[in-house]
Amino acid sequence: MELAVVGAGYVGLVTSVCLSEIGHHVTCIELDKSKVDKLKKGISPIYEPGLTELMMKNVNLGRLSFTTNYLEGFKNKDVIYIAVGTPENEDGSANLSYVDDVAKIIAKNVKRDAIVVTKSTVPVGTNNRIQTIINNHKPSYISIEVVSNPEFLREGSAIYDSFHGDRIVIGANSEKAAKLIEEINKPFNIPIYITGIRSAEMIKYASNAFLATKISFINEIANICERVDADVEQVAYGMGLDHRIGSHFLNAGIGYGGSCFPKDTKALIQIAGNVAYDFELLQGVVNVNKKQQRILLDKLYDRFGNLKGKKIALLGLAFKPNTDDMREAPSISISSELVKAGAIVYAYDPIAIDNAKQILDSSIHFVYNIEQAIGGADAALILTEWDEIKNMDFNLINTMKYPLLIDGRNCIKLKDIKPYQIEYHSIGRSSVKNIKSNNSEVVCQVGESK
Ligand X SMILES: O=C(O)[C@H]1O[C@H](OP(=O)(O)OP(=O)(O)OC[C@H]2O[C@@H](n3ccc(=O)[nH]c3=O)[C@H](O)[C@@H]2O)[C@H](O)[C@@H](O)[C@@H]1O
Per the annotation, binding residues for substrate are 152-155, 204, 249-253, 257, 320
By CB under 6 A, is residue 32 in contact with ligand NAI? yes
By CB under 6 A, is residue 155 in contact with ligand NAI? yes
Nearer to ligand NAI, 99 or 313 (CB): 99
Q: At closest approach, how far in Å is the CB of 278 from ligand X?
A: 24
Site string for ligand NAI, 209-248 (x = CB under 6 A): ----------------------------------------
Closest by Cα among 265, 257, 232, 21 to 156 = 257
C-alpha span between 262 and 278 (Å, rounded)? 18
C-alpha span between 70 and 250 (Å, rounded)? 43
Site string for ligand X, 319-348 (x = CB under 6 A): xx----------------------------
C-alpha span between 335 and 345 (Å, rounded)? 7
83-91, 195-203, 291-299, 414-422 -> range binding ligand NAI (CB under 6 A): 83-91
By CB under 6 A, is residue 101 in contact with ligand NAI? yes
- Number of residues in the chain: 450
Whether 225 sits among the annotated catalytic residues: the reply is no
Please enumerate in sequence order all residues whose Cβ is within 8 A of that of 16, keeping only pairs 6 or more positions apart, or say none: 5, 8, 26, 28, 64
DSSP-derived secondary structure letter, 27:
E
Order of strands across the sheet that contains 422-425: 365-366, 344-348, 311-315, 379-382, 404-407, 422-425, 432-436, 442-446
29-37, 314-322, 431-439, 441-449 -> range binding ligand NAI (CB under 6 A): 29-37
Which residue from 48, 155, 407, 423 is in contact with ligand X, where contact means CB under 6 A?
A: 155
Q: At what angle do helices 126-137 and 97-109 cross, to 10 degrees?
A: 40
Q: At closest approach, how far in Å is the CB of 131 from ligand NAI?
A: 18
Structural contact between residues 58 and 24, judged by C-beta atoms closer than 8 angstroms: no
79-87, 124-132, 228-236, 388-396 -> range binding ligand NAI (CB under 6 A): 79-87
Structural contact between residues 21 and 58, judged by C-beta atoms closer than 8 angstroms: yes
By CB under 6 A, is residue 339 in contact with ligand NAI? no
Comparing every residue's Cβ against ligand X, the nearest one is 260
Structural contact between residues 40 and 29, judged by C-beta atoms closer than 8 angstroms: no
Phi, psi values for residue 441, rounded to 5°:
-80, 145
Which residue from 2, 22, 31, 217 is in contact with ligand NAI, where contact means CB under 6 A?
A: 31
Structural contact between residues 184 and 1, judged by C-beta atoms closer than 8 angstroms: yes
- Interacting residues toward ligand NAI by CB under 6 A: 6-12, 29-32, 35, 83-86, 98, 101-102, 105, 119-121, 151, 153, 155, 259-260
The residues that are catalytic are 260
- Interacting residues toward ligand X by CB under 6 A: 121, 151-155, 208, 211, 215, 249-251, 253, 256-261, 319-320
